Structure 1
Amino acid sequence: MSTSSKSLLIPIGVRGMRSLDREKFNRNITAPVLKVSGEKLSKITQICKTYFLKMENFKPVQNLVDQCNENLNKCIYFDPNKVTNWTDIPDNIRTSLKQYDIDEKNFDLFDLTLTYNNFKFDTIFKAVLPENEEIVSSFSHIGHIIHLNLRDHLLEYRWLIGQVLLDKIKNCRTVVNKTYVIDNTYRNFNMEVIAGDEDFIVTVKENKCNFQFDFSKVYWNPRLCKEHERILELLKPGDVLFDVFCGVGPFAIPAAKKNCRVFANDLNPESYKWLNLNAKQNKIKADIFRSFNMDGKEFIQKIFKCYILNVCNEKDKIDDGAKIHITMNLPAIAVEFLKYFRGLIKETDLKDKFNSEIIVHVYCFTVGENHTAIAKQLVNENFGTDVSPYILNVFNVRNVSPKKEMMRVSFKLTKEFIFDTNCISEETNEPPCKIQCTRKTEE
């Protein structure tokens, strides 16, 4: 077959289109067909289904009115990129078809008009957007919202891109483009609606829980679903979870569902609002779930510290064999909060009264070649001492950009660290700073 046939199922004449004109995607092609009887259809389709013409909103098997042979009442459309004549069909396939009296006399060519409705969104983008440039390769689907992070060279096409996705993605009602990287304490970002309704209230199901939130005011990344699941698999009923930067609760809510005791915190008042709503809607028991709207430093120095002291003084208890897990999913700056655990408790006489295992799961961004080594170094530098002997796992969560990864370091926070008398605690009588960092960070 000639190489020119490779373009038969791609729109032509639309390169550079910025305002969507659906009529211009119409394309007339000649498609090979196989005319068969309905009685033999099921057997024949099994033989040659790999050659079917597969397009959106198109049925490769259709009814046929053949005035020359009324028994041939079905036709099968083949992909013209694979077949242009009878001999393009491999010998073994033709031999199998011969058993059902199907041969070259059943082969024909029909004129066919493809329209905008027949092309997938990625095919449209390849035909419209600049050649030899990165196109829309990925996006996030959050409830009814499609979330894009378009490169600069695609911004002039954003209205077309948004409308195409609105047309093509099932259950999509809103398409937004992030206008710049996250650059505030609450990790939300400015966005531009490029198609559909200005409706940011979404409902997402993850790990058997429903989460509702305003996507324009809180942080949610569907690419972290599997990571949430990994941590939840480590938690057992009776365990205790301190979620320092909990967002709307993707760790905290499912953990409470597993009958873990949960202390969930987020500085963003919008996240705090939706966290509590999600706890209520998922029927989380109030006696095992507490929520806080604090800076991470304050949460560690007050809530976590108070719990450890209460356990030591027998004012609170933890089940025998249960573990305490601390999740710190704020990868741009979470490691900077590790220092608040060292020397947190000055009452060293209580040290021997605490015997529960504490595991910290801290997230960070790494840039370079050896991401495992870089992640360990970040943890050690920010913790203020070498925790390498206590590291349980260094896990690559996801790729963020070329040479940049999101990593998770899980390590044991021993009581020797918490009751470290050699460490000068940064706790003061002054209220903790409400805004820990306002540097620009990537999602």
Structure 2
Amino acid sequence: MTLTEIRRILLIFRVKMSSSTSALLLPVGVRGMKSLDREKFTRNVTVPILKVSDEKLSKITQICKPYFLKLSNFKPVQSLQDMNGEIVTKCIYFDPVKVSKWLDISEDDRSSLKQQNIGEDNYETKEILLSYDNFKYDEIFKAVLPENEELVSGFSQIGHIIHLNLRDHLLDYRSLIGQVLIDKISTCRTVVNKSNIIDNTYRNFNMEVIAGEEDFLVTVKENRCNFQFDFSKVYWNPRLCKEHERILEFLRPGDILFDVFCGVGPFAVPAAKRKSRVFANDLNPESFKWLNHNAKQNKVNMNLFKSFNIDGKDFICNTLRDFIQDYCKGTEKIDKGAKIHITMNLPAMAVEFLKHFNGLIKDAELKDKFDCEILVYVYCFAIGEDPYAIAKKMVCENIGKDISDLITNVFDVRNVSPKKEMMRVTFKLTKEILFSNNKEEENSEPPIKRICASEQTD
């Protein structure tokens, strides 16, 4: 049995266990529903209750909290009225999964209740009416979607947009899934289903609006900056917020950042706000447009910020090269102790650009004048049993020499799929690499022209 099969069995087991714990409360008769009918979620359920007087309510609720019936839009403690509508006492509603009889309450809690003169005489059952409003989205999915199959296991939210990667067996339910998410998540106005395949140079996903407005203009807050962009035309992965933050923590005021594949600026804009000098590049014209918009919206000091809309190879071979040469010649200044950082967040193919560092500087006379520290953070997808070794090997092979002793860190950023990890390799870019004189002949076409058929999320 493969690891993938084991994970699937465990997932189904978790779904079964999760479903069984709330089976008494879940909607019935809605399995297989493909068009949302909210009325069909209405049902009567008999639940345990405890009648108590007002003066004892505070102490008794503290004892009974572990047994509360917790549903959306439902208060576990309510007033109980008589036939004339007058309030006669308070009623505590218990979860029937936890309590089906008086003795299901623990002996210690029953003893505490007895001290408040509360006993089995106060315990009875009551019928309540549940509706669509009482169920969370995951509970509705458990009741509706196919049994013994993976459910909607997760999603990302970018501004008002929720995006999903639905499995094939859920595609017939996509309209219902989207509408439920809009109903249940107050900040959601649009739900899209996105393909795992990125089918063009600019890393755009194919996407289908499955519910809500066809409005892709979003605003996202990250690392004390607001980012605006058209989600249908640029790439943004909310799962990388922590990774953006980790890299930003490495930068100090006066440091210099070259962001080779910057997107709309999750590294570049906050780095400039922290007084690092930034050179930011992206080939996608839409990313370039929103990068500059975000820099202005976040009041970046434009003396610290330069943006480029060119190929990554040209950015390395011209912009970065010229800066290093000018520094060696004394026409570019770097603060004492400052470092140059190079981020390469295009994990599907960033390593293929590493060869351009090898022998980047042709003027050998500048070699002795090079004295600054350069750190490269390159991202890649490692597929296999040992992602750390695989990532190291990919970096060495693509840069064209064994630089194992220059690699300072290999970090597992996130799991993409079984046996596929997004890795970050950090290494020092030294004069021995930059001024190498055995650079191999390069292909004239940069690797960005190729299309990766697997998931290319960053």
Asked if 1:319 is matched to 2:335, the reply is yes
Moved more, 78-87 or 355-364: 78-87
The alignment of Structure 1 onto Structure 2 pairs a total of residues equal to 437
Note the C-alpha offset of 1:425: 6.1
Aligned to 2:81: 65
TM norm structure 2: 0.92
Note the C-alpha offset of 1:101: 1.4
Note the C-alpha offset of 1:179: 3.6
Q: Secondary structure at the match of 1:396?
A: strand
Note the C-alpha offset of 1:180: 4.8
Note the C-alpha offset of 1:36: 1.3
Note the C-alpha offset of 1:391: 0.6
* Residues 425 and 256 of structure 1: CA distance in aligned 2, closer, same or farther (over 3 Å): farther
2:401 pairs with 353, 376, 385, which one?
A: 385
* Residues 312 and 6 of structure 1: CA distance in aligned 2, closer, same or farther (over 3 Å): closer
User: Structure 2: how far apart are the matches of 1:197 and 1:350?
Assistant: 57
Aligned to 1:439: 452
Note the C-alpha offset of 1:102: 1.2
Kindly report which structure 2 residues correspond to 1:349-428, keeping only aligned pairs within 5 A, or say none. Answer: 349-424=365-440, 426=442
Asked if 1:174 is matched to 2:190, the reply is yes
Q: Please tell me the root mean square deviation across aligned C-alpha atoms, in Å.
A: 1.8
Per-residue displacement from partner, 1:25-75 (whole Å, max 9, x unpaired)? 11211111111122222211111101000011111111112579x895211
Note the C-alpha offset of 1:260: 0.3
Q: Secondary structure at the match of 2:44?
A: strand
Percent of aligned pairs with the same amino acid: 69
User: Structure 1: how far apart are the matches of 2:101 and 2:264?
Assistant: 58
Aligned to 1:344: 360
List alignment gaps of at least 5 residues for structure 2: 1-18
Per-residue displacement from partner, 1:161-189 (whole Å, max 9, x unpaired)? 00111111121000000145112110111
User: Structure 1: how far apart are the matches of 2:36 and 2:142?
Assistant: 14
User: Structure 1: how far apart are the matches of 2:337 and 2:248?
Assistant: 17
Alpha carbons 1:344, 1:425 under 8 Å: kept: no
User: Structure 2: how far apart are the matches of 1:232 and 1:325?
Assistant: 10
2:286 pairs with 270, 282, 293, which one?
A: 270
Q: Secondary structure at the match of 2:397?
A: helix
Alpha carbons 1:11, 1:27 under 8 Å: kept: yes
Aligned to 1:41: 57
Aligned to 1:279: 295
User: Structure 2: how far apart are the matches of 1:112 and 1:199?
Assistant: 40
User: Structure 2: how far apart are the matches of 1:71 and 1:400?
Assistant: 56
Aligned to 1:7: 23
The residue type paired with residue 399 of structure 1 is N
Note the C-alpha offset of 1:423: 1.9
Note the C-alpha offset of 1:439: 3.0
Note the C-alpha offset of 1:155: 0.5
1:216 pairs with 232, 244, 252, which one?
A: 232
Q: Secondary structure at the match of 1:109?
A: strand
TM norm structure 1: 0.95
User: Structure 2: how far apart are the matches of 1:419 and 1:122?
Assistant: 57
* Residues 387 and 91 of structure 1: CA distance in aligned 2, closer, same or farther (over 3 Å): same
User: Structure 2: how far apart are the matches of 1:218 and 1:311?
Assistant: 34
Q: Secondary structure at the match of 1:331?
A: coil
Per-residue displacement from partner, 1:366-399 (whole Å, max 9, x unpaired)? 1110000000011011010011001111000001
User: Structure 2: how far apart are the matches of 1:234 and 1:153?
Assistant: 44
Alpha carbons 2:346, 2:379 under 8 Å: kept: yes
List alignment gaps of at least 5 residues for structure 1: none
Aligned to 2:9: none
